[in-house]
Amino acid sequence: MKISTNPYLRIGPVTKSEAPFPHAFSPKAFNDEFSMELLSWLEKSAPWSLTETDFYEQYEFSFYDIALPSNLISLGSVDISHR
């Protein structure tokens, strides 16, 4: 896997966890300024919609079909490719 160089994204250190399911995360993946801009957009402007099924309801949205604001456009520019 190749991840492009992005000034807002820092992959590392990465922490692996098995609970409650296998996953990995990087608590400092974004710098503080970018993190606050992203949080503000998620709380105030992101196009959340309520999804209701027989066993849950939650608010969600997809990054696939939204227009990001100019200060967050780098979220859509991370190049991930598999060899």
Domains of the chain, residue spans = 2-81
Residue of 51, 83, 82, 78 whose CA lies nearest to 63: 78
Question: How many other C-beta atoms can be found within 10 angstroms of the C-beta atom of residue 50?
Answer: 8
Partner residues linked to 81 by β-bridges: 2
pLDDT of 59: 95
Residue 14 has, within 13 A of its CA and on its CB side, a CA count of 7
What are the residue ranges in the chain where pLDDT is below 70?
A: 1-9, 77-83
The answer to whether 60 touches 40, Cβ cutoff 8 Å, is no
At 34, list the tokens. Answer: 């970018």
Q: What is the pLDDT of residue 77?
A: 63
Q: Output the pLDDT for position 26.
A: 84
